Structure 1
Amino acid sequence: MISLHSVSKTFGDHTRSVAALDDVSLDVARGEIFGVVGQSGAGKSTLIRTVNLLERPDAGAVVVDGVDLTSIGSGQLRLARQKIGMIFQHFNLLSSRTVRGNVELALEVTGAERRERRRRADEILDLVGLTDKAEAYPGQLSGGQKQRVGIARALAAEPTVLLSDEATSALDPETTRSILELVRTINQQLGLTVLLITHEMDVVKTICDSAALLESGRIVEHGPLVELISRPGSRLAADLFPLGAVPPHAGNTVIDITFSGGSADRPVIAQLARTHGLDVSILGAVIETIGGSQAGRTRLELPGSAAANAAAIADLRSQGLLVEVAA
């Protein structure tokens, strides 16, 4: 549904320039929720703004629903953008318009008639749970309600793609959860493809199907979450399930075990201790629900060297578990 092919974007001039995006290629499948994560300055906002060409790339192609946006004229681009909704971190609502008026604004741009604008606005406000706030003004709303108006406005023109630019970073944790639940519901009910950027790994864990890590304008890792979890050395997996620094281990072996799918339900540690006669110490554990199933990482300390524990480690790996020797 969304494909970026060797996209680059540089800001500045010949005396000083910054590469916001450096040869970025990315594919987002139809109907999935794809998260792009990275620190401030990584190029996340530039990336998402290239999808609807609010930022035109210096090189590369941006294809949305089969249309190469970088190769069409301004008139065709305006029509294509109507199928790409966008929600923002700071809502961007017009304070002089009611909630309904803000939603209808997106339809005024398309030339929809007044009666159709009102019908569609009321329909979408019902979807986002704001029917009773239709005549209220933004100043009378909470942060979460303002973001729901922003989502409703983005959905008004019945887009096929929804872009989210740090949409929950200004919200408290409880409100963030409710907005993420709403985005997932919209994704499922309307079949929308969602591309979101965030620096919060909890957002990725909560609703994303796939993710990419962006650093200094480059994609350094990407893929479906269920694959990333089982990928040796995955930095995204380590960020999803942080275990912290490896503690002093006094010559013993420290291993990190990644569980996913059915392996999360098995008594792996108890079997390891019983089968190999080991006194196993649990140094840390993180378990989450990813893609509807349990997954996580556990850090164990085994007595003795890695060579002495080779049989135990091989046994774990033979069960389909990802085992990495941390120390």
Structure 2
Amino acid sequence: MISLTSVSKSFGSGARRTVALDNVSLDVPEGDIFGVVGQSGAGKSTLIRTVNLLERPDSGSIRVDGQELTALGDNDLRVARQGIGMVFQHFNLLSSRTVQGNVEFALEVIGVDSRERKRRAAEILDLVGLGAKASSFPSQLSGGQKQRVGIARALAARPRVLLSDEATSALDPETTRSILELFRTINRDLGLTVLLITHEMDVVKTICDSAALLEAGQIKENGRLVELISTPGSRLARDLFPLGAIGELPGTTVIDITFSGGNADRPVIAQLARDHAIDVSILGAAIETIAGNQAGRTRLGLPGDARSNAAAIADLRAQGLLVEIVGGAAA
């Protein structure tokens, strides 16, 4: 649905040149909610703005719904953009227009007649839960309601792709949850492909099917969350289940066990202690629902070094669990 191939973008020149995207390749499957996560300055906003060519890349290919956007002229690009909705962090609503008027504006600029504009705006405002606020002005709305207007405006032209540029970063936690639930509803009910950027792993955990880590303009890893969870050394998986620093534990092997899918509710630790006569210490644990599946990570301390615990660790791995030796006597 969205495919970026060897996309690069820089700003400035000479000593002032800044590389925002460095040979980025990324595929977003149709129907996915795909999160791009990274710290400030990683290039996230530049990346998402290249998808609809608000930022034209210096090089590379950008295909959306099978269409090569970089090859389009201005008129054809305007038409193609009608199929790509975008939600901004700061709402960008017209203060002089009502909620209904703001949504209609998105249709007005593409030449939809007045009757259809009114009908479609009313329909989409009902979808985002703001039908009763159609006559209100932006100044009369909460932050979450303003963002819902922004989402309604992005959906007005019936796009197949929805882009979200840090849409929840200015919202409080409760409002953020409601907006993320709305994104999931839109994805499910309208069949939209959603590409969102964020610096918050909670957003990725809550609604994303897939994710990519962007750092210094480069994709460091990406994939479906259910697969990343079981990938040794995955930084995204580590950040999904933060367990903190490992303290000094002389004479102890520290391991992280990642659970997912059908093995998330098995009594693995109790069985480990019983079968291998080990006094297991639980040093930390995190359980989440990731992409609709229960998953988690548990940090254990096993007495002795890695060699003396080799049989126990092999047993865990034979059960299909991801086991990583992360510290202690094995470090």
Please give the range of the TM-score, normalised by the shorter of the 2 chains: over 0.9
In the alignment, structure 1 residue 283 sits paired with structure 2 residue 283: yes
Question: Normalized against structure 1, the TM-score is what?
Answer: 0.99
Counterparts of 2:223 and 2:199, CA distance in 1? 17
Q: Quote the residue 1:173 is aligned against.
A: 173
Give 1:59-74 correspondences, 5 Å limit: 59-74=59-74
Q: How does 1:1-327 map to 2 (within 5 A)?
A: 1-327=1-327
Query: What letter corresponds to residue 326 of structure 1 in structure 2?
Result: V
Offset, 1:14: 2.1
1:162-218 Cα offsets, whole Å, 9 max, x none, are: 000000000000000000000000000000000000000000000000000000000
TM-score (structure 2 length as normaliser): 0.98
Return the alpha-carbon distance in structure 2 between the equivalents of residues 314 and 230 of structure 1.
16
CA distance in 2, matches of 1:38, 1:50: 17
Task: Return the letter of the residue paired with 1:280.
Answer: V
How many angstroms does 1:15 deviate by?
3.2
User: The residue matched to 1:297 in structure 2 has which SS?
Assistant: strand
Q: Distance in 1 between matches of 2:231 and 2:182?
A: 30
Residues in 2 aligned to 1:8 and 1:105: alpha-carbon distance in whole angstroms: 33
Q: What is the SS of the residue equivalent to 1:8?
A: strand
Q: Distance in 2 between matches of 1:77 and 1:52?
A: 9
Query: Please, which moves more after superposition, 291-300 or 37-46?
Result: 291-300
Whole-Å separation in 2 of the counterparts to 1:207 and 1:108: 32
For structure 1, the residue ranges without an aligned partner over 5 or more in a row are: none
**Deviation for aligned residue 1:291:** 1.7
CA distance in 2, matches of 1:183, 1:72: 29
Secondary structure at 2:264 match in 1: helix
Deviations 1:290-316 (A, max 9, x none): 121210100000011110000000000
Can you list the C-alpha shifts for 1:252-300, whole angstroms capped at 9, x where unaligned? 1000000000110100000000000010000000000012121010000
How far is 1:248 from its partner? 1.0
Q: Give a deviation string over 1:60-82, Cα, whole Å, max 9, x none.
A: 01000011000111100000001
Which residue identity does 1:118 align to in structure 2?
K
Distance 1:294 1:66 in 2: 34
Amino acid at match of 1:313: I
Number of corresponding residues? 327
For residues 287 and 306 of structure 2, the distance between their equivalents in structure 1, rounded to whole angstroms, comes to: 25
Query: What amino acid maps onto 1:63 in structure 2?
Result: R
Please identify runs of 4+ aligned residues in structure 1 that moved more than 2 A.
none
Instruction: Please report the RMSD computed on the Cα atoms of aligned residues, expressed in angstroms.
Output: 0.5
Q: Distance in 1 between the 2:248 and 2:294 partners? A: 29
Deviation for aligned residue 1:247: 1.3
Structure 2: gaps (5+ residues) = none
- In structure 1, the residue corresponding to 2:228 is in which secondary structure? helix
Amino acid across the alignment from 2:220? V
Q: 2:74 & 2:13 partners in 1: Cα distance?
A: 25
The amino acid across from 2:198 in the alignment is T
In structure 1, C-alpha distance between the alignment counterparts of 2:289 and 2:67, rounded to whole Å: 36
